[in-house]
Amino acid sequence: MYSGLLIILLPLIVGYFIPVKRPTLLHLVNNLLSWMVYVILFIMGVSLAFLDNLSANLLMIFKYTAFFFVCILAVNLLALWLLERRKPWKTKHHQEVLPSRLHMALDSLRLCFVVVAGFLLGLTQWHWLTYASQASEAALIFLLLLVGAQLGNSSLTLRQIVLNRRGMLVASVGAIASLGGGMMAALCLGLPLKTGLAMASGYGWYSLSGIVLTDSFGPVIGSAAFFNDLARELCAIMLIPTLVRSNRSSALGLCGATSMDFTLPVLQRSGGLDMVPAAVVHGFLLSLLAPVLMAVFSS
């Protein structure tokens, strides 16, 4: 357990305390982070191709993904609906005209094509591809270092995080609800509860959950975690404009950790500027929580 925590937390903490003052350097960190997502997903696809009994395992990945996605989504929506009923999030914002949601969804699906490309290369069974697991661990450490640097050099202060109660509240409810959905899916599938909790701890962070759980549980669980978290992001893109009219907490909570980056523009256009601080705090907290919980439950 402690070695897994160390591998995840140490680069995250080191990166967090690296000062990146120049805008050009911060831009470089953001670009490297984007590219590392593609590298890690490509390696994950390669690892998937080395599975024994491949066709049966692909069916298992689809089954696990479907169960976890439905259970986590259902429990999240129920918990966030109850939160909205108890503590309504009021606003006078009028929704703007949004860009094509299909176009945004296709941007997310490019990540699937990267996994497929890695999988097709892995089918060649070239000898040097057997080092994919070592490469994935090195890529993960570098990714976490970059994530730590990005979080540490964000404009958020501890005071801003503490003062934004809505962001903290939605993050807390969504985090607990996701874990409940993960346990429900694990019970339905006959998996250990720790596996279900680890699967649910990605909070939409597909690049991290895919590689961490592949290292801990193998390519089947890791691939299912990736597709589950990617499906969550796609679902959020499609549902935010509708949900935000009647249940702003659900619109934010559905985004998970992506509310501070990929889904932030959709939240801002749909819910107004007053939704941005809560969205950034929500995504920031889940981005810090996800690697820690995955390390704990994957031990």
Q: What is the pLDDT of residues 7-48, one digit of tens each?
A: 666 777 788 788 877 788 878 887 887 787 778 778 877 877
pLDDT reported for residue 93: 52
pLDDT reported for residue 124: 86
Amino acid at 182: G
Amino acid at 118: G
H or E element at residue 164: none
Q: What is the 3-state secondary structure (H, E, C) of 231-262?
A: HHHHHHHHHHHHHHHHCHHHHHHCCHHHHHCC
End-to-end CA distance of the chain: 4
pLDDT reported for residue 1: 42
Question: At 50, phi and psi to the nearest 5?
Answer: -90, 5
Mean pLDDT, the chain cut into blocks of 10 residues (299 residues total): 57 79 80 78 77 75 94 95 87 55 63 81 83 76 78 65 81 95 95 94 85 84 89 82 85 88 76 79 88 87
User: Using an 8 Å Cβ cutoff, are 268 and 275 in contact?
Assistant: yes
Nearest-Å Rg of the Cα atoms of the chain is 19
Whole-prediction pTM: 0.74
pLDDT reported for residue 299: 75
- In this predicted model, what pLDDT tens digit does every residue of 231-265 receive, in sequence order? 888 788 778 888 888 889 999 999 998 887 777 77
DSSP code, position 277: H
pLDDT reported for residue 94: 53
H or E element at residue 118: helix 101-122
Tokens of residue 99, six digits: 């860009």
pLDDT reported for residue 2: 43
User: Using an 8 Å Cβ cutoff, are 15 and 149 in contact?
Assistant: yes
Tokens of residue 2, six digits: 């402690």
pLDDT reported for residue 195: 94
H or E element at residue 77: helix 54-86
